[in-house]
Amino acid sequence: MQVRVVGPLQWVIYPALVAMAATLILATPVELFGLKLPEPVLPLVLAFAWPLIRPSMTAPAVLFGLGVFLDMFWGGTLGLWPLCLLSVYAVVLGSRNLLAGQETQVLFVWYATCTVGAFLLAYLVVSLDAGRAPSLLALLGQVIPTLLLFPIADWMVQRFDDGDVRFR
């Protein structure tokens, strides 16, 4: 039997670089029929999938870096997205034993709950920082595209979950 080893480069570093590149591409000022490109929070997909794939010390550090990248790129409150991404990672890591081996529908409910929770936390932090509540339509404009990215998280979990047969 051949051992297929999937290291952190394949399931942490490459997806993080893809998330950064996709964030840059989706931020381009392109309009189609009067609509702008959506700006989902792509690292939320990684914050959900990584603890289910394999807990590591590299993933939270990379999530922190991705969160700082989002804060600096979008010009938001520094520390907002690292807090949100790491809170999703912590919740999923804490419930990893419960989620292991669950069907896709159950994972989607957890993904949706974590995503809505992260955006609620971001909404509260921005409201406290700005002194007034941000637009709910703008919030929905980010929540809905982020929720639609669940197939990527599911694919990552299915693809990398049994990536290293040494741990069976």
What's the token pair of residue 132?
Answer: 């007034």
Say how many C-beta atoms besides its own lie within 10 A of residue 11's C-beta. Answer: 24
- Label residue 164 by pLDDT band (50, 70, 90): very low
Q: How confident is the prediction for the chain on average, in pLDDT?
A: 89
Please determine, for residue 37, whether its predicted confidence score (pLDDT) is greater than 60: yes
For residues 1 and 94, give the distance between their C-alpha atoms in angstroms, rounded to a whole number: 33
For residues 81 and 161, give the distance between their C-alpha atoms in angstroms, rounded to a whole number: 26
Q: Which of 3-7, 53-57, 63-67, 138-142 has the lowest mean pLDDT?
A: 3-7
For residues 129 and 133, give the distance between their C-alpha atoms in angstroms, rounded to a whole number: 10
Say how many C-beta atoms besides its own lie within 10 A of residue 157's C-beta. Answer: 19
pLDDT single digits (tens) 69-120: 999 999 988 999 999 999 999 999 999 989 888 899 999 999 999 999 999 9
pTM: 0.89
